[in-house]
Structure 1
Amino acid sequence: MSYKNEAASIIENIGGKENIKSVSHCATRLRFVVKNKSKVNGKKIEANQDVIKFLESGGQEQVVIGPKVDSVYDAVIDQLGDEFADGVVDEDHSAEDLSSAKAKGFSFNNLINQIFSVMQATFTPILPAMAGVGLIKALAITLTGFKLFSDKAPTILILNGIYNAFFYFLPIIISVSMAKKFKVDTFIAATIGAALLEPTMIMKLIGVKGTTFFGIPFQMQNYSSTVFPALIAIPIYAWLYKLLKKHIANNYHTLVIPFVCIFLMVPFVILVIGPVAVGLGDLISSAITSLFGVAPIIAGLLLGALWEILVTFGLHWAIMPIVISDISTKGSDQILSCAGVATWACMGIAFALLIKAKDDPELKSVMGAAIIPVLFAGITEPIVYGALLRYKKCMAYTMIAGAIGGAITAVVGTKITVMFFSILSLQTSINWVQGLVAGLITLVIAFVLVLVFGYKSNGKENAKD
């Protein structure tokens, strides 16, 4: 199916090609970085029948499309040109961003928005790969669970190796993804991340007392599967890279910039950033773990109730590094396990609306199309923007059901071991049967609330919005 006309309409109402700096996309949204926000006509974009919602978030103009976003994105790039794809823009774009940020004076709100934008741009591209290795892990668990293979069978070792490799080399993956966001050399960033994982250096230095680098004492850490060192190091590398590029003659860029960046950044991470980042991550994780230990019901209730709101406004990106760090270092995470019940609540809303919205074919169509993505990939955006943000009752039902389900999940101690929600990966969780029961309870509560109390504020389900 061609989306040529839809793409042309979106480009026109985003302000035209001349107003676009770059375009990227996630699982459900087109993400535009534009030069002048005043030229964007969000209402006309939402009038497009293939658009679920238009919103501004993280410094981007986001067009929520749903599962067919790939096709629409390809159509947009066909008309714009490959130079706009995946954030690839003209060479002076980074300098333009820096001058714009300086003009804003780095206010607290601007700083927070920039942090969320960086988190979003860093983790969104790696989530598909993370989902892929999660399903591979689910396959390995299923094969051993049904006694088709033993735990030590070569097939299982390879499947587990694929999953483990992703998280072991996470510092490299994060470094590359973040470097793309800052539009600096990704291979230098990858080298910085890779240097932290060099096995000989780690084995010979870790646990050794009195180690120094040019006389500076330090204690070696194991940086495999870590998240925070790269998250802190790469922005500093990006600043250094752009500074050197600005002040060093072009003839010496290839020789000087890589050497200086790598020589300065790797020791700086090992001596300063690494210990601080690892300690910070451990502190945050311990605080959340303590909350679950002292008041699990409150922790689960808040996460389940507020998760879809956090996702809607992109605030969940502040929590995702902690979740990923817990899975990669501890092997499991309880935060996303409790928050994930909101996905079950969204399913309940969607199933109920298929019955309740009998005189609203457009809503039924959106909900019907949303069932498969949410079941098999945990994608809730079509439900969020098609129902929760259109009908306040639906959002309230999701929060009520999510709160109850989150509290139950926390009490029974369900923890996820893969960063991916799917009915195919449920069995990978710790106490997964109890977690499944909590999820089904959440689904049923949301489903019943819609059927009993309706989804429109005036109670007239057949009325036009």
Structure 2
Amino acid sequence: MNYEEIAAKILKNIGGKENINTAWHCATRLRFKLLDENKAKTETIENIPGVITVVKSAGQYQIVIGNSVGKVFDSLADQAGLENKENQAASTNEKKDSLVNRFIAFISGTFTPFLGAMAGAGILKGLLALLVALGWLKTTSGTYEIWYAAGDALFNFLPIFLAFTAAKRLRVNQFVAVALAAALVYPTLVTVATKSQTLHFLGVPVVPTTYTSSVIPILLAVWVLSYLQPILDRIFPDAIRNIFTPLFSLIIMVPLTLIVVGPIGSGISNLLANAVSGVYNFAPIIAGIIMGAFWQVFVIFGVHWTFVPVMMNNIAKMGYDPLLPILAAAVLSQAGAALGVFLKTKDEKQKTLAGSGVVTGIFGITEPIIYGITLKMKRPFVCAVIAGGLGGAIIGAFKAKASSFTLPSLLALPTYLGKGFIGVIIGISVAFVLAAILTYFFGFEKSSSQATVSDQNLSQTGELVTAPVTGTIIPLTSVHDQVFASEAMGKGIAIVPTDGTLKSPVAGTVSAVYPTGHAIGLISDSGIEVLLHIGIDTVKLNGKYFKTLVKKEQHVTVNQELIKFDLEKIKQAGYDPTIMLVITNSKQYQITATQETVAKNNWLLQLDTKHDH
């Protein structure tokens, strides 16, 4: 895989480096805050080899790559000069986002940079617990103490790591933030707090609180610092600002955090921990069903990041977290669904993707499975949700707990040792096996190329796709758009329209409605995936001259009106109005195009399902 080439194509099609507000990556995705998302050519990006899909969520433009995301990002960062980039419009642009989107972006940007290191450290702690339980290692040995220090250091000094990444997200001096966090976990202050001794700062008592392993207090402190630093920058002239702003930041923020911000953060932490514990203890099985079934749905929408500080806070405050073992069932169910696809499908490309997905899923990375397989096929995702819910219910019933934070996977099993561990083994086994079985028997549409019997809805001559508009028929390969003409998105046909009404060429369901009104996606009742695109580059009109008449998930009939568009004004604006009809899953069909040159209530394409031999 040529990471430089992938990065170059992505950079070009997101609108270039000048369109990047901020950029970072998590375990599988490139994450962007773009200045103008309309400049990003999503369809082109999704067809770049090495790109699984594009997701727009939580105010972010996310490109799912898979396990090689780090190498792609490094190359992209080099090409775009991201390390030295300071976009003045960044903060203004982010403030336009909703409060929820800004919060999710802040949390994900704070935790993702060291999530891998944190997961590795958590697994190391779990393995040490396993070795001690087996009698292979003693806690008094030097080997144990050194390895335990390696595994526990990140968690013990977690405020320092959070301060560094949070400061970067909030655009404040990272080293001042780190110094603030280091003061909170300074050995002398930790000892005083452990002994419940009360210090006084200028006569004001300091509540004895230990901040090692804490999450919320330092996040609040850095947030307050993000308001203080600009004030100090305005007060001090350029000649002394680099020294006096950090000086007074520390003079003000350290005591302010110890006296006010820290105790407030600790109070919030205690409330969260008690709330999670209370709900879980009241109905552990229901909690298991909800988290086991819907965790991957949370991942799709990006809201799973809101749970990360909660789970880490539980471990800091209670010494354990009840949610992480349940999430292992959700993760393993996706791996099981991928196994079901691998065993059933006859499509070599899909089999390869599913096979690698099983491996990555077992080790905790499910996004390649979700976006590359289960969500695209729909039914396997539902099968995984059902299996994950049942596995989660079993784990919840046994009241299993995680002793340290790590990515839910088989590797995390040592962190679940203790009460309820047998429930984890049973729960994740049920989730994995049941998802594979359900997917194998119920996860495939009859009309897909993997079906074992022909679709009864298809006639002997195949299914017909009718003309969506009147006009002149031309080959798709002749249109003045490289993406469509190359048939990279699928085979199809094009029409130069003579009227402004786009009608449905099939009976089916609306799968996608574009806000700009220039395109719409349909899935026929037999599974044909149709994309109708009005004009070339008409997305730039931002919805002007277009009126969408249907909604997503609405069922439509053949010739039902979908979109009204002002043909003459589109042409006057300088845009090519050619309409592209593309079968995006055309690899599943043998396609015959009409020999006629005029489109008017006639059929354009005949699709016959391919059968593997």
TM over 0.5: yes
1:428 to 400, 412, 415: 415
Match of 1:461 in 2: 450
Query: Matched residue of 1:217: which SS?
Result: strand
Alignment of 1:440 onto 2:429: yes
Amino acid of the residue matched to residue 52 of structure 2? Answer: I
2:370 to 357, 368, 384: 384
Query: Matched residue of 1:23: which SS?
Result: strand
Per-residue deviation at 1:228?
Answer: 0.5
1:214 to 202, 206, 213: 202
Asked whether the 8 Å contact 1:453–1:459 carries over to 2, the reply is: no
Distance 2:223 2:101 in 1: 15
Change (3 A) 1:446 1:208: closer
Match of 2:126 in 1: 138
1:10-35 Cα offsets, whole Å, 9 max, x none, are 11110123222343222111122322
Match of 2:342 in 1: 354
- Between stretches 331-340 and 112-121, larger displacement belongs to 331-340
Alignment of 1:416 onto 2:402: yes
Match of 1:45 in 2: 45
Asked whether the 8 Å contact 2:51–2:63 carries over to 1, the reply is: yes
TM-score norm. by structure 1 comes to 0.91
Change (3 A) 1:208 1:305: closer
- Between stretches 30-39 and 274-283, larger displacement belongs to 30-39
Alignment of 1:99 onto 2:92: yes
Distance 2:94 2:25 in 1: 24
Identity %: 33
Match of 2:469 in 1: none
Match of 2:75 in 1: 75
2:312 to 324, 329, 351: 324
Asked whether the 8 Å contact 1:171–1:226 carries over to 2, the reply is: yes
Alignment of 1:62 onto 2:62: yes
Moved segments of 4+, more than 4 Å? 205-211, 457-460
2:353 to 361, 366, 385: 366
- Between stretches 38-47 and 387-396, larger displacement belongs to 387-396
Match runs of 1:217-296 below 5 Å: 217-296=205-284
Higher relative contact order (CA 8 A, sep 6+): 1
Per-residue deviation at 1:367?
Answer: 1.5
Per-residue deviation at 1:59?
Answer: 3.0
When Rg is computed on C-alpha atoms for both structures, the one with the higher figure is 2
Distance 1:45 1:243 in 2: 42
- Between stretches 17-26 and 391-400, larger displacement belongs to 17-26
Distance 2:153 2:74 in 1: 31
Asked whether the 8 Å contact 2:334–2:381 carries over to 1, the reply is: no
TM-score norm. by structure 2 comes to 0.70
Any gaps of 5 or more consecutive residues in structure 1?
A: none
Match of 1:13 in 2: 13
Alignment of 1:24 onto 2:13: no
Aligned length: 451
1:110 to 90, 94, 98: 98
Distance 2:396 2:343 in 1: 31
Query: Matched residue of 2:376: which SS?
Result: coil
RMSD of aligned alpha carbons: 2.1
Amino acid of the residue matched to residue 424 of structure 1? Answer: L
Alignment of 1:407 onto 2:393: yes
Distance 2:129 2:194 in 1: 33
Per-residue deviation at 1:210?
Answer: 6.5
Per-residue deviation at 1:4?
Answer: 2.9
Match of 1:451 in 2: 440
Query: Matched residue of 1:32: which SS?
Result: strand
Change (3 A) 1:392 1:422: closer
Change (3 A) 1:89 1:239: farther
Asked whether the 8 Å contact 1:344–1:443 carries over to 2, the reply is: yes
Match of 1:375 in 2: 362
